[in-house]
Amino acid sequence: MHNSTLCYLDNGREYLMLHRVKKAHDVNHDKWIGVGGKFEENETPDECLIREVREETGVTLTSWTFRGVVTFLTDGEWDGEYMYLFTADAWEGTLRAADCTEGDLEWVPKDRLTELPMWQGDLIFLNLLAEGAAPFLLTLEYTGDRLIRAELNGKNLLQRDMEE
């Protein structure tokens, strides 16, 4: 298990999204996600957040909010992960979308996010962000690309969906 951050830069009506198309052997290949990455040694979540956003976008965050921790579990196809989730509403500098080595950066209207290819579990935490949910613990377990378990603060979301 490793630690990472993910951040959605929010300009009010859109999120800055990263279309992961530039790296070979990328578990997120062709998916749309926020910006972020793995912790370096002795790095805090805030330090990782600021560094990763700056590396991928060229901007320096000046205001952000912790939104929750997402635990990713897998069948061993890739490493598990504890992801610290943030949104940011202020930053300094100029977005350098062309310089991003991870993929293509694009501002996407929030009401169009569901049209993008993304992980099924990402839709769960994007809905929580849209609802303004209090900081949460979300566990997502995958077999390959298939979400087989989703628990929000200890409550099984997939079972609830099946019962409705």
Tens of pLDDT, residues 110-148: 999 999 999 899 999 999 999 999 999 999 999 888 899
- Give per-residue pLDDT as tens, 37-78: 999 999 999 999 999 999 999 999 999 999 999 999 988 777
Read off the pTM: 0.90
Give CA–CA dist 83/69, Å, rounded: 6
What is the pLDDT, as a whole number, of residue 100? 79
**Domains recognised in the chain with CATH numbers:** 2-163 (3.90.79.10)
Question: How confident is the prediction for the chain on average, in pLDDT?
Answer: 89
